[in-house]
């Protein structure tokens, strides 16, 4: 008997030692596939770069995984203890593995033959999230356990929890408790209530399956399970449980349509990626402070689309924007397009940039990448050249048929928009009514080469042919360059370079770059001011009169605009392009409308009809946004800050309305006009 005992004992010990050896061998084999210790101890979160608007509000994150970091000390106790109650009740006692939980999971897996039960501790989950895949096969579980033990050796329990809250997935593409709190509840994680915390605690188990926007009932059931565990583990009281479990899930619906900023974000992404590289931009935790006014951008996007929808319906275009789902990607946009660019003349800060009606449909930024003809929107450059070379607002030219002939060949015969002629016309009247004959005679006198030179001064970089038809805007240019050129007028003769990014900081708060305002002298301030008064006439009495009032459109009520304004309409041949560029002292806003293939917008669809209507809505909104509010929330507008300041050297003189000269008698009709003595 004794002999059998020792025999069986020997066999049993041999089996045990062989089993231990096999287990050790398996663990040793898989340990070779783990990340090195240096990578484990120096693990860094891949934190995207945060983008802020001009009001320092977060508007976007450039990231591989959308994530914001949080500090464990800032989180409420019920959030931390609730996680432990649900995911790992023995968290503070184990060394990386909960043996009893593991045995329960093994038994369940053997019964079902599915490996569906995880039994993973918080540390094991962290190991998986940091370095491993999400499959539930035995090799991955072994690696997970080995990594968990290593993590427990090198990190404190508090550090493990903080890593978990920053690394875990809380929905499709959402990583970290801070992003989740912002996405679902519009608040910081430290401000979550018990019910909100319970919803988030339950999500990492199945982030897509418990996504509350798509599966609200699943999310509610999971939240209530978490609340029950929190009650059972004395994380919350019975009263707190009752209040939380009976509450509805109230998800945050953001007021701002972040898609409205896509063209701006894509523009700065290209600049930043060229300068800092893809890795630094998407994982380096930069902080990017832009010039974009997100509220104004979103409003401008809404107004533009409403006006263009109205334009589509009025002209009964065959293809309309509404024909395509908004989330359709990269399609041929045969519907009418538009773009908006707003820039501060004093700083160059770009407040609005809309490159099209839908970034999903088309990535083409029509403000920075397209080339379009400006039509009469180019005339302020021509008229500035004239003022700078001896002309005055009172200079008279005869408006009559004219033809340009070279070598017995007719190469240009301009005509006015109305196909009528008006005889002797003062320069102010010629611009106010956008008379092409007046402009044609101006360029004939000045010479197209001189006008080309002035266009370069104004910042136009595209090829400019020195031809007489420049007077009617027959050149291709980049829209934002022409709109930026108009900053010369309210900025005392200096053009400002556009600034999209105010500064960039690294993850430690060190400033990597900071924008400096750059102004380029174009003309004397007296010329700029007189030109501005001419453009005021366009708005007050000419083709831009629509600035003062526009009817309701879409969900927006009718509007009146009563503050200082100057600007110019533009329309190209066959109504292929429609423009309006207008400004006051603090903001320049330009709008372009047209088809990508340059087909006609339709008969009489001029700049005043197709482009201008959105302008007063946007500019009034900009004024209201920057104005202080009274105790009822109504803006208190200081109109004086938008008025143009007359230089001391500019004088006013009463001149004959008919001849532009000093009146010969007291009965002659006169107007007040601006001059520079000498």
- The residue range of the domain holding 488 is 291-371+477-646
Co-location of 192 and 231 in the same domain: yes
Token pair for 375: 């039509």
Q: Which band of pLDDT confidence, cut at 50, 70 and 90, is reported for residue 2?
A: low
Q: What is the largest CA-CA distance in the chain?
A: 146
- Poorest-confidence range of 126-135, 182-191, 528-537? 126-135
pLDDT digits 0-9 by tens, 454-472: 999 999 999 999 999 999 9
Co-location of 357 and 465 in the same domain: no
pTM over 0.85: no
Asked whether residue 6 is assigned to any structural domain, the reply reads no
pLDDT digits 0-9 by tens, 359-372: 999 999 999 999 99
- Choose one of 476, 503, 531: the last residue of a domain: 476
CA nearest 307: which of 628, 593, 89, 675? 593
CA nearest 542: which of 423, 676, 379? 379
Sort strands 66-67 and 174-175 into parallel, antiparallel or unpaired. Answer: parallel
User: In sequence order, what are the residues at sequence separation of 6 or more whose Cβ sits closer than 8 angstroms to the Cβ of residue 152?
Assistant: 95, 96, 123, 160
Model pLDDT, residue 10: 64
pLDDT digits 0-9 by tens, 22-40: 444 444 444 455 555 455 4
- Choose one of 186, 212, 245: the last residue of a domain: 245
Asked whether residue 450 is assigned to any structural domain, the reply reads yes
Co-location of 486 and 606 in the same domain: yes
Co-location of 98 and 171 in the same domain: yes
- Mean pLDDT, residues 102-111 taken together: 56
Model pLDDT, residue 245: 94
Asked whether residue 266 is assigned to any structural domain, the reply reads no
Average pLDDT of the chain, as a whole number? 88
pLDDT digits 0-9 by tens, 502-518: 999 998 999 999 999 99
Neighbours of 428 (CB within 10 A): 25
Co-location of 77 and 100 in the same domain: yes
Model pLDDT, residue 152: 79
Q: Bigger pLDDT: 541 or 93?
A: 541
Co-location of 102 and 161 in the same domain: yes
**pLDDT exceeds 50 at position 328:** yes
Co-location of 380 and 469 in the same domain: yes
- CA 269 and chain centroid, separation: 11
Asked whether residue 274 is assigned to any structural domain, the reply reads no
Domain harbouring 346, CATH code: 3.40.710.10
- Choose one of 412, 446, 476: the last residue of a domain: 476
Co-location of 406 and 360 in the same domain: no
- Mean pLDDT, residues 429-453 taken together: 95
Co-location of 231 and 316 in the same domain: no
Would residue 598 be called left, alpha or beta, if left means φ above 0 and alpha means ψ between -120 and 50 degrees?
Answer: left
pLDDT digits 0-9 by tens, 265-301: 999 999 999 999 988 898 888 999 999 999 999 999 9
Q: Bigger pLDDT: 472 or 8?
A: 472
Asked whether residue 514 is assigned to any structural domain, the reply reads yes
Model pLDDT, residue 66: 65
Helix (H, G, I), strand (E, B), or coil: what is residue 590?
A: strand
Model pLDDT, residue 380: 98
Co-location of 673 and 615 in the same domain: no
Q: Is 169 exposed, middle or buried (0-12, 13-18, 19+ CB in 10 A)?
A: buried
Neighbours of 132 (CB within 10 A): 18
Catalytic residue among 63, 302, 342, 376: 376
Co-location of 426 and 461 in the same domain: yes
Cβ(352)–Cβ(396) below 8 Å: no
- Poorest-confidence range of 124-138, 290-304, 335-349, 381-395? 124-138
**pLDDT exceeds 80 at position 449:** yes
Domain harbouring 119, CATH code: 1.10.3810.10
Q: Is 230 exposed, middle or buried (0-12, 13-18, 19+ CB in 10 A)?
A: buried
User: In sequence order, what are the residues at sequence separation of 6 or more whose Cβ sits closer than 8 angstroms to the Cβ of residue 543?
Assistant: 376, 432, 433, 434, 568, 569, 606, 607, 608
Co-location of 444 and 488 in the same domain: no
Catalytic residue among 50, 65, 87, 162: 87
Count how many domains the chain has: 4
Model pLDDT, residue 23: 44
Fill in the DSSP letter of residue 554. Answer: T
pLDDT digits 0-9 by tens, 234-275: 999 999 999 999 999 999 876 545 478 999 999 999 999 999
Asked whether residue 12 is assigned to any structural domain, the reply reads no
Model pLDDT, residue 172: 82
Neighbours of 365 (CB within 10 A): 22
Rg of the chain on CA atoms, in Å: 34
Mark whether 376 is an active-site residue: yes
Task: Please name the residue ranges forming H helices in 508-614.
Answer: 525-541, 607-610
Q: Bigger pLDDT: 103 or 619?
A: 619
pLDDT digits 0-9 by tens, 145-175: 667 677 777 788 898 888 888 888 888 878 8
Mark whether 87 is an active-site residue: yes
- Mean pLDDT, residues 614-640 taken together: 95
Neighbours of 250 (CB within 10 A): 11
Asked whether residue 2 is assigned to any structural domain, the reply reads no
Distance CA 426, CA 393 (A): 7
Asked whether residue 355 is assigned to any structural domain, the reply reads yes
- Mean pLDDT, residues 29-58 taken together: 68
- Mean pLDDT, residues 651-657 taken together: 93
User: In sequence order, what are the residues at sequence separation of 6 or more whose Cβ sits closer than 8 angstroms to the Cβ of residue 413?
Assistant: 401, 402, 403, 404
Model pLDDT, residue 44: 57
pLDDT digits 0-9 by tens, 118-146: 568 887 777 776 654 444 554 556 666 66
């Amino acid at each position: 008997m004794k002999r059998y005992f020792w025999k069986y004992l020997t066999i049993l010990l041999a089996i045990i030692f062989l089993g231990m050896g096999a287990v050790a061998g398996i663990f040793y084999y898989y340990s070779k596939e783990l990340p090195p210790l240096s990578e484990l101890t120096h693990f860094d979160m891949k934190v995207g770069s945060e983008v802020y608007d001009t009001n320092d509000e977060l508007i976007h994150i450039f990231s591989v995984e959308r994530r914001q970091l949080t500090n464990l000390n800032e989180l409420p106790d019920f959030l931390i203890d609730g996680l432990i109650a649900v995911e790992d009740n023995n968290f503070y006692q184990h060394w990386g593995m909960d043996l009893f939980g593991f045995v329960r999971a093994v038994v369940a897996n053997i019964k079902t033959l599915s490996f569906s039960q995880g039994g993973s501790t918080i540390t094991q989950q962290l190991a998986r999230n940091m370095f491993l895949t999400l499959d539930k096969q035995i090799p991955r579980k072994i690696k997970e356990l080995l990594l968990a033990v290593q993590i427990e050796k090198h990190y404190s329990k508090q550090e493990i929890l903080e890593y978990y809250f920053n690394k875990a997935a809380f929905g499709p593409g959402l990583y970290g408790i801070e992003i989740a709190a912002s996405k679902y509840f519009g608040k910081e994680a430290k401000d979550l209530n018990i019910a909100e915390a319970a919803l988030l605690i339950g999500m990492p188990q199945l982030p897509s399956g418990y996504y509350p926007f798509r599966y609200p009932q699943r999310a509610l059931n999971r939240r209530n399970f978490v609340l029950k565990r929190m009650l059972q583990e004395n994380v919350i009281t019975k009263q707190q449980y009752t209040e939380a479990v009976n509450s509805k899930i109230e998800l945050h619906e953001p007021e701002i349509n972040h898609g409205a900023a896509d063209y701006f974000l894509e523009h700065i992404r290209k600049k930043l990626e060229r300068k800092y590289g893809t890795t630094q931009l998407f994982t380096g935790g930069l902080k990017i402070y832009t010039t974009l006014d997100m509220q104004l951008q979103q409003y401008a996007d809404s107004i533009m689309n409403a006006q263009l929808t109205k334009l589509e319906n009025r002209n009964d275009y065959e293809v309309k924007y509404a024909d395509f789902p908004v989330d359709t990607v990269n399609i041929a946009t045969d519907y009418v397009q538009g773009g908006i660019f707003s820039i501060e003349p004093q700083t160059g800060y770009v407040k609005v940039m809309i490159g099209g009606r839908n970034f999903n449909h088309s990535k083409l930024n029509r403000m920075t990448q397209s080339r379009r003809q400006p039509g009469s929107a180019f005339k302020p450059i021509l008229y500035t050249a004239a003022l700078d070379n001896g002309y005055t607002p009172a200079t008279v030219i005869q408006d009559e048929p004219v033809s340009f002939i070279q070598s017995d060949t007719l190469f240009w015969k301009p005509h006015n928009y109305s196909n009528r002629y008006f005889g002797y016309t003062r320069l102010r009247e010629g611009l106010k009514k956008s008379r092409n004959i007046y402009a044609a005679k101006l360029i004939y006198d000045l010479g197209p080469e001189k006008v080309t030179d002035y266009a370069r001064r104004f910042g136009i970089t595209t090829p400019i042919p020195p031809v007489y038809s420049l007077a009617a805007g027959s050149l291709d240019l980049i829209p934002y360059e022409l709109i930026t050129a108009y900053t010369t007028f309210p900025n005392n003769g200096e053009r400002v370079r556009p600034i999209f990014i105010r500064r960039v900081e690294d993850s430690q708060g060190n400033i990597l770059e900071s924008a400096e305002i750059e102004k380029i002298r174009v003309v004397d301030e007296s010329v700029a001011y007189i030109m501005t008064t001419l453009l005021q006439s366009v708005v007050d009495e000419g083709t831009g009169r629509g600035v003062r009032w526009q009817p309701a459109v879409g969900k927006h009520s009718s509007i009146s605009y009563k503050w200082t304004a100057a600007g110019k309409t533009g329309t190209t041949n066959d109504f292929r392009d429609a423009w309006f560029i207008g400004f006051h002292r603090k903001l320049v806003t330009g709008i372009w409308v047209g088809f990508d293939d340059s087909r006609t917008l339709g008969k009489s669809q001029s700049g005043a009809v197709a482009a201008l209507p959105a302008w007063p809505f946007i500019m009034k909104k900009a004024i209201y946004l920057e104005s202080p509010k009274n105790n009822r929330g109504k803006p208190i507008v200081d109109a004086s800050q938008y008025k143009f300041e007359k230089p001391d050297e500019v004088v006013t003189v009463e001149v004959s309305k008919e001849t532009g000269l000093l009146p010969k008698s007291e009965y002659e009709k006169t107007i007040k006009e601006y001059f520079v003595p000498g």
